Amino acid sequence: MGKHMTRKIFGTDGVRGLANTAPMTAEMALKLGMAAGRCFRRDGRNHHRVVIGKDTRLSGYMLENALTAGLTSTGMNVLLLGPVPTPAVGRLTHSMRADLGIMISASHNPFQDNGIKFFGPDGFKLSDEDEAAIEAMLDGEIELAQPQNIGRAKRVDEGRQRYVEFVKTTFPVGKRLDGLKVVIDCANGAAYKAAPEALWELGAEVVAMGVEPNGVNINDGVGSTAPQAAAERVLREGADLGICLDGDADRVMIIDETGRIADGDQIMALFASHWADNGRLKRNTLVATVMSNLGLERYLGGRGLSLLRTPVGDRYVVEAMRAGGYNLGGEQSGHIVMTDYATTGDGLLAGLHFLAEMVTSGKRASELATVFETIPQMLKNVRYVNGNLPLENSDVRKVIEASELRLQGKGRMLIRKSGTEPLIRVMAECEDEALLADVVAQVVGAVTQAS
């Protein structure tokens, strides 16, 4: 094990990888369970609980059992929630007074991948420090519980119902979804039961798709990363709205009745402006990442609202929200974080709040879903030889500086290294598409030469 630990196994969203390949093996899950159990079992009492949720991937069974063995070996009691959305695990870790929550999921990735994310007792994803503490224990001998102190494990079915009931309580008092036809695409993933239940119980006519998971069809041609299927279904059914979740249901894309797809930026723009009108948007600020469209920033600026940008990754959005006392944030990819209600992005919650806007305003989805004009965006990836540092090359820097000058007042440019592979990502936005293409080509050319 020692030699693998030089690279941090925790990435921006827990541990992730190809199932049955390090670090996503049963052996590593067992070790992680032992280490996490040891870290969070802060005294010898035997009342320690861990809740574990998962999505619908085939490898979930293997990882769930391995984690359970590791955790119980250190004296933790394990409550197995079965398939539930990631936000439900955050919620239930806190409400069931657990010491730790674990979600087994690789979110929007294909079924071959899986991941393990940890939540602290407050329901928020673990800090870097806590993750580092767990990781540091993986190398050493982990102290196991005495035979009489080994933990128990049991399945709890009421976890999903608790989450559904909670989500419904966030809907405006006295309002219902009667008379609305809603397509809900669950990506054959974790929300395949919870999401249609919540919508139906609130009175909607529900057309559910992506609700037949078989272990290998999660995110396959359905869900928020492939919303075309749901868009077609909305039109075919004459539905009022489409809600597209990803495999672990912490992301959403909204489809209006004309089949148009609204991404996270449009949804955040709508919520931010309406919350601000009602004095609900804390510090008149929306938190989003550097990838959010310039059109969103300009729209908010025009309304006297601020956009606070963070690095890419929903955990950085949540960190900034908690640090600054903001209550609305998210990502263009569809993470919508409303800390008044949830500790993480929640696609079902965001979908319900969009429906609440429709119900309270009496407007159709198409009147709400396109809040601002998107400014044309171009993203090119340039592969480089490992060990090279193309962004530190002086010629590249000159070209980037010249390009930024050309875009001043007309757009913006963002150049960053990929966190996962040897790529430089060159992204620019500009109303003038010819200028946009030219600027990106210049920078890509310079980076390619230095790579």
Active site residues: 107
Closest CA to 252 of 191, 203, 298: 191
| Cβ proximity of 316 and 297 under 8 Å | no
Q: Between the CA atoms of 8, 103, 125 and 153, what dihedral angle is there, to the nearest 10 degrees?
A: -100
Q: What share of the chain is helix, strand, coil (3-state, %, to 5)?
A: 40, 20, 40
| Cβ proximity of 135 and 112 under 8 Å | no
Q: Is 201 exposed, middle or buried (0-12, 13-18, 19+ CB in 10 A)?
A: middle
User: What residue has token string 């396959």?
Assistant: 220
d(CA 57, CA 15): 16
Helix (H) or strand (E) holding 18: strand 15-18
Helices 347-361/158-169 angle, 10° precision: 30
User: What residue has token string 């293409």?
Assistant: 437
d(CA 30, CA 83): 20
d(CA 108, CA 112): 11
The length of the chain is 451
The pairing of beta strand 113-119 with beta strand 100-104: antiparallel
